[in-house]
A and B are shown apart, each in its own frame.
Chain A
Amino acid sequence: MDKLQRILDLIAGDPQADRAVPPTGFTARLTFLAAAAMAFLAVFALALSLATGRLADRWSAELAKTSTLRISAPAGQMDAQTAAALSVLETTPGVAEARALDDDEQRALLAPWFGADLPIETLPVPQLIEIIEDGDGFDPTGLRARLQAEVPGAVLDDHTRWREPLVEAASRLRLLGIVSMLLIAGATAAMITLAANAALAANAQVIRVMRLVGAQDIYIARAFVRRFTLRSFLGAAGGTLLGTFAVLLLPRADAAGGFLTGLGFQGWHWLLPLTIPVLAAAVAFFATRAAALRTLQEQS
């Protein structure tokens, strides 16, 4: 309650104390613009982080639901081994559906490399079986052991080697987004510290007079802290609004567009940018307070 009261007091301010420190146009504009620009960038970093998080989850989930069984066998044994494999799969817990691809489907898969008129029936192409898993999926180790015993020419590909690098890449991108937000917060703190130091230096005479009449350091610091906190909040609110509007204008998620069309926010994530002005104000509060108290100590 005490902290809440102090926050409310900071927002409400003391008009007489605020009047004691004259407004400085240069630092006011610098703080406002820096906070706005950083908030604008933070919205995109947040959108990137959230979008890559979704992408990692989606790739992980989608690839985890399907597997492929490849059967390589002499032409005379192919049908028998395919039937045996399908029989094994039908009795495997976790397999929702197993289906052998027909010639047209296999031709379509090879078409990008060999052309559409490939005489697939004359080539020793392995038979592919698509496996759709149910909710919990199957045990790949157990299935491989059974297939080895009953269908020696079968090779199970559960997509692990595809899925892991993709999920890792998406996770790295998410980390990059988080690091970007931290860097933005750090750069904001640095710029506000510079602006606060400039304001304190410009008001050295004001500080001398306030000290002469009995002002304590925290009182003097508060006048600067409140000003910079509010400027940062308002600047960041403007930057966040513009950033969110820009994200709103990005193309909606589309399968054909891949990753680049899914960069926006989804669902309740649209509320997250609201935290940016609050965080910017918090960064400004602590940066200005530290700068003010340090400068006042140096000037004493």
Chain B
Amino acid sequence: MIELDNVAYSYGGAELFSSLNLALAPGSFHFLTGPSGAGKTTLLKLCYGALIATGGQVRLFGQDARTLDRDAVALSRRKIGVVHQDCQFLDHLTVAENIALPLTVSGRSVQASDVTDLLGWVGLTQQANQLPPELSGGERQRAALARAVIMSPEVILADEPTGNVDWEMSQRLLALLVELNKMGKTVLIATHDLSLIRTAKSQVSARVLRLKDRKLQLAGADL
């Protein structure tokens, strides 16, 4: 689905990482961890075509990301649901409209039942007509997750989804992501929250990758 072969990325002359290999197989569950500034967000952006690798090859659904034009990248993003730490909503639209936005921009008809079902799944039925600034941190993350899955994507990429929420809410978000994985979705979560990883490993078969010293390593028993 998403493959990184010998990928390097430099910014402003400084190499963030190099010789990086990763393959997200269908239905897999990965955690990406590492210290702040190691390049977790950059790696995620490479995975959804927001950045182009300065070396090596990134393949999105079999296509070399370097050869994709902006429209092709936009089409590939419809198969990738992205959850950001800061959620990135349109603050003038209601929660329901924000969740339906991927359907709207892809020209698909928005069925009220699709949005209603998702709102129920993430527990935001009561907040459907509120504006994003009126939501709490946990509610915003759940709304972002609902928006990420409304197109029924094959891959879910989450960048520090529990960064701004309390432990209870992080467990709830994790449960939603595990549920999506059990439905066959590929999940990659970038996080520095090791307790979240430990909890997840008891629920799902997850690989943990550590980005450190410009290399990607498989993390082991130290977690």
Interface, chain A (partner B; CB < 8 A): 16-17, 19-20, 22, 205-206, 208-219, 296-297, 300
Known: A19-B97, A20-B93, A208-B88. A214 touches B70 (CB 8 A): no
The answer for the CA separation of A199 and B19 in the assembled complex, in Å, is 42
Distance (whole angstroms) from the CB of B84 to the closest CB of chain A:
8
Q: Which residues of A contact B77 (CB under 8 A)?
A: 211-214
Residue of A nearest to B101 (CB): A213
> Contact: A16 with B92, CB < 8 Å?
no
Known: A16-B110, A19-B97, A300-B70. A213 touches B102 (CB 8 A): yes
The answer for the CA separation of A210 and B90 in the assembled complex, in Å, is 9
Q: Which 9 A-B pairs have the closest CB atoms?
A: A215-B105, A214-B78, A213-B102, A214-B77, A216-B74, A22-B92, A16-B104, A216-B71, A209-B88
Interface of A is mostly: helix
The answer for the CA separation of A217 and B97 in the assembled complex, in Å, is 20
* 29 intermolecular pairs with C-beta atoms under 8 Å apart: A16-B97, A16-B100, A16-B104, A17-B104, A20-B90, A20-B101, A20-B105, A22-B90, A22-B92, A209-B89, A209-B90, A209-B101, A210-B101, A210-B105, A211-B74, A213-B77, A213-B102, A213-B105, A214-B78, A214-B102, A214-B105, A214-B106, A214-B151, A215-B105, A216-B71, A217-B70, A217-B71, A217-B74, A297-B70
Interface, chain B (partner A; CB < 8 A): 50, 70-71, 74-75, 77-78, 82, 84, 88-90, 92-93, 97, 100-102, 104-107, 110, 147, 151
Q: Which residues of A contact B90 (CB under 8 A)?
A: 20, 22, 206, 209
Q: Which residues of B contact A209 (CB under 8 A)?
A: 88-90, 101
Q: Which residues of A contact B78 (CB under 8 A)?
A: 214
Q: Which residues of A contact B97 (CB under 8 A)?
A: 16, 19
Q: Which residues of A contact B102 (CB under 8 A)?
A: 213-214
Q: Which residues of A contact B104 (CB under 8 A)?
A: 16-17, 20
Q: Which residues of A contact B151 (CB under 8 A)?
A: 214
Q: Which residues of A contact B70 (CB under 8 A)?
A: 216-217, 296-297, 300
- Give the one of A22, A212, A219, A297 with max B CB within 10 A: A212
> Contact: B110 with A212, CB < 8 Å?
no
Q: Which residues of B contact A19 (CB under 8 A)?
A: 93, 97
The answer for the CA separation of A22 and B78 in the assembled complex, in Å, is 23
Distance (whole angstroms) from the CB of B129 to the closest CB of chain A:
14
